[in-house]
Amino acid sequence: MDYVKLETVMRRLALEAGDKIMEIYNSDDFEVKSKSDSSPVTEADEAADALISAGLRAAFPDVALVTEEQAATHGESAMDFLIVDPLDGTKEFVNRRGDFTVNIAWVENGVPVRGVVYAPAKDRMFYTLADGSSVEETAPFDKDKPGALTPIRVAEADNAALMVVASKSHRDQATDDYIGKYATKDMKSAGSSLKFCLVATGEADLYPRLGRTMEWDTAAGHAVVTGAGGKVLNFDTMEPLAYGKDGFANPFFIVCSPSVELKSA
């Protein structure tokens, strides 16, 4: 994979998709449909998916592509592939809460090594550079060239006063019980893969996810966290979360700074 080309293409497509999403988000009304698993899908998901997948296929025609909105891409698993969630946090989008993101990632040998997470309603964009390190780019964004870039790094955690982030739409008792094992200073709620990015920037130390997710939900955020020095671990084994699994479903997982003293389930 040409990482320099990949950085440029992923960043531009994320921004273009973000523009399309915000055009629909700011309209008076938009259609919301239900997928086979009863999760919502909007015309913004579909428009962003069409734009991103066409751009990736044009730029990398020989690379496998997995995208949430195209069931035909969910077939045989692979070790090296591009993976896309064109609009992560559709519930946040539908409720006009702003916590939704565009996610594009490159998985190599089952590991997300490059990715971009763009939150267009919040003017926040996080991505890995060609060298694998993670940055946040400051708005306003120019599609043709990056603006001001700030290197991001996970925090040195204070285990007596941890900053925790949890899902806004998918909180449950099991998650609260697990968080209760830690000494916490504060807890934030956030939607979509923004939770990964809050750990990557040091705004949070720990994000446990004891709920259903798919690889397209997590790959881009996983790459950004790794590039910022953080970890994404299988909740049960404490091994790095692997990708290219049959069906692309994830087990429960934990995102954290390496300095967090993790508790067992």
Give the model confidence (pLDDT) of 186-198 as tens digits: 998 887 899 999 9
What pLDDT score does 150 carry? 98
Q: Is 238 left (phi over 0), alpha (psi -120 to 50) or beta?
A: left
What pTM did the predictor assign? 0.93
Q: How far apart, in whole angstroms, are the C-alpha atoms of residue 88 and residue 235?
A: 22
Q: Is the pLDDT of residue 184 over 90?
A: yes
Q: How far is CA 210 from the centre of its chain?
A: 16
Annotated binding site for Mg(2+): 68, 85, 87-88, 217
Annotated binding site for substrate: 68, 87-90, 217
Answer with the residue of higher pLDDT: 142 or 72: 142
Mean pLDDT of 127-146: 97
Mean pLDDT of 87-91: 86
Is the previous residue joined to 151 through a cis bond, with omega within 30 degrees of 0? no
Q: Is the pLDDT of residue 59 over 80?
A: yes
DSSP E strand stretches across 110-197 = 111-119, 124-128, 134-138, 149-151, 162-167, 184-190
Burial class of residue 148 in the structure, from the number of CB atoms within 10 Å of its CB (0-12 exposed, 13-18 middle, 19+ buried)? exposed
Q: How far apart, in whole angstroms, are the C-alpha atoms of residue 76 and residue 2?
A: 24
Annotated binding site: 68, 85, 87-90, 217
Q: Is the pLDDT of residue 46 over 80?
A: yes
Closest to 104 measured CA to CA, from 84, 119, 88? 84
Which residue ranges form the domains of the chain, and what is each CATH number?
Answer: 3-151 (3.30.540.10), 162-256 (3.40.190.80)
